[in-house]
Amino acid sequence: MKKFLRYYHKKNKAVLMQLAEYRVDILMTIMGTYSYTILTLVFFGVIFGNIDGIGEWGKFEILTLFGIGQLIFYTHWSFFAGVDDWVSDIILNGNLDIYLTKPVNSFMNLITFKLSVVEKMPSYILALAITIYGFVNTGIQLKPLPILLCIVLMGLGVILKMLISLSISLLAFWVSKTRDMKRMYYHLFEYYKYPTDIYPKSVKLIFTTILPIGLLAYGPAYFLLKGFSLNILGSYLGALAFYITVVAILWNRGLKAYSSASS
């Protein structure tokens, strides 16, 4: 562990030096992510200018849900950005060898090799502001237990999101084109923006079990806004257990199937 942290620290120092060198890249990343958030806020502004709520969720509850989803997304991206972008490329290009030969845990090295905390900080602040603004305006009294539960579930949500993304990326051990699957997944990720109550039972079942995107932000937001639900906690933990198993199987079997050559 100590060895990994030392290695991680040095690796991230290199990332920070690279960021300092290419400041325009940071600005562009911030612009790109801010534009998504602002576009969604404009969308909500227009929609809620015409309606009072979506199902049993009012404007500020939806804003809180969106803010929490963004926080999960950016936390995931801060620590596990490589899982979305590069893991499948590394496998397909035969560069996984580099990570396997390092004197640290290969799996941890692979999933944490791209730190983007500094890049994502401004987006994180905006998401936090939206969450606080949404929550304060719901008029719900601030209580420590729901907040604690919400934060715990958000942490689990980050891990769950990483595991779902990783399970798709690890398919690159067997499938040469995972890009379309990823693109599909990114679009499905939009499901987090709305409470799962609005979907029919069959759709809700899919998005809370097999592909638990619907749970990611809904779970923490529900705990914060509506109170504790054993059902949601159970679904969350069940989904986590399922995806930990899936990733473990894919990783172990994938390594056995993996081969590369170099000159």
Partner 1 sequence: MIMAGGASLLIAFFVWKTIFSVRDTVGDFTFSTMITYFAVIFSIKILVGSAGIARTMMDDMRKGSLAFLLIKPVNYNLFQFAKTITEKLLQTIAPLIALGILVTNFSDTFLPPQNLTFVIIAFVQSIIVAHVLYSIIGAASFWTVQGWGIIAVAGRFMDTVNGMVFPLDLLPEKIFNVITYLPFQYMGYLPAAIYTGRIASVDIVRHLIIQFLWIIILTLTYRWIWNKGIKKFDSVGQ
Give the binding site for partner 1 (CB under 8 A): 22, 24-25, 27-32, 34-36, 38-39, 42-43, 46-47, 49-51, 54-55, 180, 183-184, 186-188, 190-191, 194, 198-200, 203
Q: Which is nearer to partner 1, 56 or 97 (CB)?
A: 56
Contact 141, 222 (CB under 8 A): no
* Tokens matching residue 88: 């499948």
Q: Which is nearer to partner 1, 181 or 240 (CB)?
A: 181
Minimum CB–partner distance for residue 85 and partner 1 (Å): 13
* Tokens matching residue 233: 């906690």
Q: Which is nearer to partner 1, 17 or 180 (CB)?
A: 180
Q: Which is nearer to partner 1, 28 or 98 (CB)?
A: 28
86-108 burial, b if ≥16 CB within 10 A, otherwise e? bbbebbbeeebeebeeeebeebe
Q: Which is nearer to partner 1, 40 or 106 (CB)?
A: 40
Minimum CB–partner distance for residue 237 and partner 1 (Å): 26
The kind and range of the H/E element at 203 are helix 201-205
Minimum CB–partner distance for residue 181 and partner 1 (Å): 10
Angle at alpha carbon of residue 165, lines to 163 and 170, rounded to 5°:
90
Residue 231 and residue 47: Cα distance in Å, rounded? 30
Minimum CB–partner distance for residue 45 and partner 1 (Å): 10
Minimum CB–partner distance for residue 147 and partner 1 (Å): 28
Q: Tokens 């609005």 appear where? A: 198
